[in-house]
Amino acid sequence: MINSRIFAHQWTTSESREIFSESARVARWLDVIIRLAQAQAECGIIPAGATNEIAKLSEVDLPIDEIALRTRQTSHSTLGMIQVLRELLSEQSAEYVYFGTTVQDITDNSQILELREVGMLLWRDLWLIENDLLEMSAKHRTTYIGVLEILCQFFNVQHNAVRRIDNDRQIRF
C-alpha cells in the first residue's frame, strides 16, 4: 500500500516512505554488516584491517541495479548484495563480509532500525498533537460545552450505543 499511487497518501507519508525505500533499506543492511564486522573484530573473529575496509563501504554509492540483478540471478534475498560488496573489497577483506551470519540476522536487525525510525516519527507527531491539544484546552477552558458531553454525543450518535444499568447500578455502554 505504501507504494500505491492510489492509496499511498492514506497509509503513509513521504517521510515514512523514505524509511522503507529500497536505497534506505540497502543502507541499513550495509550499516548492520559494518557493525557486525566491527563487533567481530573486537572479539578477534576477523582481522581489524578487514573491518576498516568493510566500514569504508559506507562511503560508496552502491549499485542498486547490480544488486537487484544479482538477487534475481541467485534467488537469494541478500546474496546479490554480498557479491557486490565483496567485489568492492580487496581479496583479503572480501571473505569477511557477512562472515558467520544469516539473512535473518541482517534483515531482523535492519527491521529493528526501521521500527526505531518510524517510532521517532510517531513520537514527534504525538508531541506535536499533545502541544496543540494543550494550547486548545487553554484557549477554550471557559467554553461552556465540556469534552465529556461532546464525547457522549459522538458516542451515542455515531455508534448508537445503548445504555443499560446492571444489577450493581453501574452504567455500561
H or E stretch covering 164 = strand 164-165
Q: What is the pLDDT of residue 8?
A: 77
Dihedral (CA of 150, 153, 155, 158) sign: negative
> What is the mean pLDDT of the segment spanning 133-156?
73
**What average pLDDT score do residues 112-129 get?**
93
0.85 exceeded by pTM: no
Domain edges within the chain: 8-122
> CA 23, 24, 29, 35 torsion: positive or negative?
positive
For the cut 70, the answer to whether the pLDDT of residue 6 exceeds it is yes
pLDDT for the residue 141: 76
- pLDDT category at 142 given cuts 50, 70, 90 is confident
> Which residues does 75 contact at the CB level (< 8 Å), separation at least 6?
none
pLDDT value at residue 26: 94
* Cβ–Cβ under 8 Å, residues 106 and 78: yes
- The angle that helices 22-42 and 64-74 make with each other, rounded to 10 degrees, is 80
Residue 156 is predicted with a pLDDT of 59
Mean pLDDT of 36-55: 96
pLDDT at 144: 62
Closest CA to 18 of 117, 93, 107, 95: 117
Round the average pLDDT of the chain to a whole number and report it: 85
Distances (CA, A) of 37 to 17, 25, 61, 93, 166: 29, 18, 20, 11, 64
Q: What pLDDT does residue 153 have?
A: 66
CATH architecture of 8-122: Orthogonal Bundle (1.10)
